């Protein structure tokens, strides 16, 4: 896929479907407008994410938006996650109830990834920021990634171990994707250097400009609102799962 792409992604009993970017990117801004399938969608997952698992199966990076389908009639749930350098043993999930019906019209899901931070945005409102600092350095995504959008059957993963599996009597499940925006440092070879600087702060650089180095006051207000009003799970508060919380949670 490339800028301006649009498509319908379909899940039926035979298979799921997805799109992958033609290029791999090292830092950038990536966005897609998505309209989710309506009806009973338990076990269905629609994802918009960056990954390099194909090139680094044992040491991969990943930045995820995952939209989890209805569970006994509940609204869609938004989940964000991040892995760096193969750190898959520690899930860094956070979950939100959306403040709109994502099946009625398109909404934008965006990822900003640079040397300063990773920001997840929904309709341009930040819902999560991962700051690149000493606490996150070892697990911060550090290698070029491709961009994907997919729909798939996650019955065993997303519904309490298969308690509410996908009901294919309601298939096909169709997610519409449009207005793709992929802007970043394109890397053409596996080990080649990125095309733009990791630390420059040129205002002309769409990846590393001043406005992308930290959140504005308005964005911080939006972030606090989203997390205070709509987030219902954070790995940093899951002491039953982690007897010792990851270092970024203790800062």
The catalytic site residues sit at 62, 66
Distance in angstroms (rounded) separating the CA atoms of residues 113 and 61: 12
- Give the whole-angstrom CA distance, residue 168 versus residue 86: 34
Which of 169, 134, 165 lies closest to 152, judged by CA?
165
First to last CA, the chain: 38
The span from the CA of 10 to the CA of 217, in Å, is 40
Q: Is 209 left (phi over 0), alpha (psi -120 to 50) or beta?
A: beta
By C-alpha distance, which of 131, 173, 181 is closest to 155? 173
Tokens of 104: 């009625």
Is the separation of the CB atoms in 42 and 69 below 8 Å?
Answer: yes
Two structure tokens written together for 137: 């350095």
**CA dist 80 → 50, 64, 113, 200 (Å):** 12, 5, 14, 28
The C-alpha atoms of residue 125 and residue 173 are separated, in whole angstroms, by 27
Tokens, residue 193: 């250097």
């Amino acid at each position: 896929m490339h800028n301006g792409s649009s498509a319908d992604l379909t899940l039926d009993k035979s298979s799921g479907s997805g799109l992958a970017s033609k290029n791999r990117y090292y830092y950038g801004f990536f966005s897609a407008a998505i309209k989710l399938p309506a009806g009973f969608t338990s076990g269905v997952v629609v994802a918009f994410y960056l990954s390099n698992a194909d090139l680094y199966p044992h040491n991969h990076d990943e930045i995820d938006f995952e939209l989890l389908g209805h569970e006994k009639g509940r609204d869609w749930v938004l989940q964000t996650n991040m892995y760096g350098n193969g750190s898959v043993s520690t899930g860094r999930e956070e979950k939100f109830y959306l403040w709109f019906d994502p099946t009625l019209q398109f909404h934008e899901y965006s990822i900003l990834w640079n040397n300063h931070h990773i920001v997840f945005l929904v309709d341009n409102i930040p819902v999560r920021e991962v700051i690149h600092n000493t606490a996150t350095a070892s697990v911060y995504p550090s290698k070029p990634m491709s961009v994907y959008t997919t729909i798939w059957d996650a019955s065993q993963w997303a519904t309490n171990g298969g308690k509410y599996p996908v009901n294919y009597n309601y298939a096909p499940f169709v997610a519409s994707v449009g207005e793709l925006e992929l802007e970043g440092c394109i890397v053409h070879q596996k080990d080649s250097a990125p095309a733009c600087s990791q630390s420059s702060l040129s205002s002309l650089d769409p990846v590393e400009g001043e406005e992308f180095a930290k959140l504005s006051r308005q964005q911080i207000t939006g972030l606090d609102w989203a997390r205070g009003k709509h987030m219902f799970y954070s790995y940093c508060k899951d002491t039953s799962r982690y007897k010792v919380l990851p270092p970024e949670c203790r800062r």
